[in-house]
Each structure stands twice: as structure tokens, then as C-alpha cells.
Amino acid sequence: NTYYGASFEFPSAYDFIRRYHDIWHTLTIHAKANMPGKVLVFFLLRALSPSPEIQAFWIVLCSALGGYLLALMAREMTDGNRKAALYACILYQLVPSKLYFAPLLNILSPLPILLGFYWFLRFLTTEKKIYLAGLAICLYVVFLFEPLPLVTGLVFAAFLFESVQRSPHPVKLLTSSVWVTIAVLVGFHLLILGVFRFNLFRAFANLMDFTANFNLTHDRNYAHWTTHNLKDLFVNSIASSQTLIFFLAVAAALWRRYKTKATTRMTGGDLFAVAMLATALINNYLGLILGETIRIWIFIAVFIQISVAVYCAVPPTTDAPSSRTATFYIVAATSFAQLVLTFGSLRFAWP
């Protein structure tokens, strides 16, 4: 693991991040092609234990705690539905791609954006600006560790737009949500820049430039991947039953929107399902990822579980007698079965 190896080349995390712009070009290709947050994680893990096996345990444990964040998000967007929260937590643990690539650091990539989105939902519910400060710091961590989850910004924008539409003070809500987040993000960036001499946005610009040059040099044409990426996401990264329920959730959301002729606001679950499908498609056709989708898009696979959980937990109409509990049991069982049947073919992370 090049991130693990890079952490041995410097006496401390402080020395590494303070000298980062001077030594960036000397790093191995994977460390150079990623933001420094991944190397910093191994400084932390080595402080917890010198044993690689123990460090792997900490990575898997921290990743598993993301199920709690997913539960909080599901509960927040369903007005406190505990069944949706429970389902989301369970389905998170059954995401195939997350388990396939444990204990690689990719399984940690959803955590900062999950926490940031939860705090954003809390702001939209309470309008307390302290949650925007938390969101801004989470966005900094996303930039520092793995910037790709920022493509979920479309989901943030959809929820903000919906909240602005029904707010008695729409202009105030919109402006405050934007300027507070930007102000805290810039302020935190300047603090890190002053203390560690680390420029987040310079590092990000170097990363984008390096990636673009690498793809040109190696003739990595994205056209080949426009269908393979979607196949890997919806067939391999998440279980087939999860994919089916996700598309049923999107279809149901669009049908309800059509029946009401867009005169009523979409529920949180409906809005999230449609926004996530749009995010996956836009992310695919932006051409940011040239293969390895199963591993790199773990954060999208995790987000999709919210739509699956909400579809199974929330009755389709107010007159419906119950939720689709049996559907959830089938999804959970088939997801587990797919994991059992496919896990034996893996040799990437656990030789």
C-alpha cells in the first residue's frame, strides 16, 4: 500500500503535511494521484498500533460506523421513521463493494460526506448555522481525503432548492446557507494554511493536472467506460436486489410527481432517490473515473441504500396499511446471498 509506505518516509504527520508541496512530486504514483489525506490516515493508524492487522481492523470498524450516519440521514429525511433508519443501517453493512475492498481506504470515503449531508439536513430542519459550520469542515475533509464524493453536491442542491421553495424567508435561507458554508470553509483553509503551510486548493489543482496528464499520456479514452461504469455500479457495486428496489423507488417518486402535477412538494425519500440517480448519471458522463468503478464509487453505492431503505420502510401512500417489510427482508437476504456467492472470487485486497 503506497499510502502506508509513504507514512514511513517522514518523521511525523506534521512534517509530511508541512513539506507536502515540496515533496509531492517525489511520491509514488498512487500517493501522488490522490490527496494527502490517505497518507495522514496511516499516520493516525500507526499511532494507534504498529500492527498492520490491527490497523486494518480500525479501518473496517470505522467504516462500519458509517451505518449509524446512514441511519441518522434516513431518519432525518423521513420525519423520524425509525424503521427507515434501521433498514438503512443494515443495508449499509451489506453493500458488496464496501465489503469486497475492505480494508482498503476506499471504504472510508463515504464517511465525511455522509456526516456533512446529515448536518446539512439538520440545518434545513432547524436553520441553526452551527450545522453549516460542521458541513464546511466535512467538505474540507472530503477535499483532503477523497474529493470525488463532492459530485453528490447535486443532492445537496436539490434539498436546498426544495427547502427554499417552502421557506417563509427563501432569500435569507439561500444566502445564509451559501455564505456561512463558504466563509467557514475558507476560514478553516486559511487556518490550516497558516499553521501547516498546506494549501488545500493548490494540492487539489496539482492532483487534477496530474490526473489529466496521466490519462492523456496513457491514452485512457473515457468513451470505453460510459457503459461499463454504470454496469459495475448497478450490477457489481451494489446487490442486484438493491438496484431493483432503487429503480422502483425512483419510478415511484416520478409517478407521484406526475400524478400531483408537481403541485405538492416531494417527500425527502422521493427527492433523494431522483437526485441520486441524476448524480450517478452525471458523475458517469463527466468522465472523471476511467474504470475501477466498483472500488472508487463505493460512496454512491452507500448513498443509494438510503433510497432502498426508505422505499421499504415508508408506506407508499398515507392510506396504505403498512410498510414493505417483506420487501426489505428479501433485499437483505438476497444481498447477503450475493455476497456469499461472489466473495470467493476476490483476490485483490485479501490474497
**pLDDT tens digits, 230-261:** 899 999 999 999 999 999 999 999 998 888 87
Around 137, how many Cα atoms within 13 Å sit in the side-chain half-sphere?
Answer: 9
Enumerate residue ranges in the chain where pLDDT < 70.
1, 218-221, 223, 262-263, 290-291, 317-323, 344-351
- On whether the pTM is more than 0.75, the answer is yes
Q: What pLDDT, on the 0 to 100 scale, is given for residue 219?
A: 67
**pLDDT tens digits, 35-48:** 999 999 999 999 99
**pLDDT tens digits, 251-306:** 999 998 888 876 677 889 999 999 999 999 998 888 777 667 899 999 999 999 99
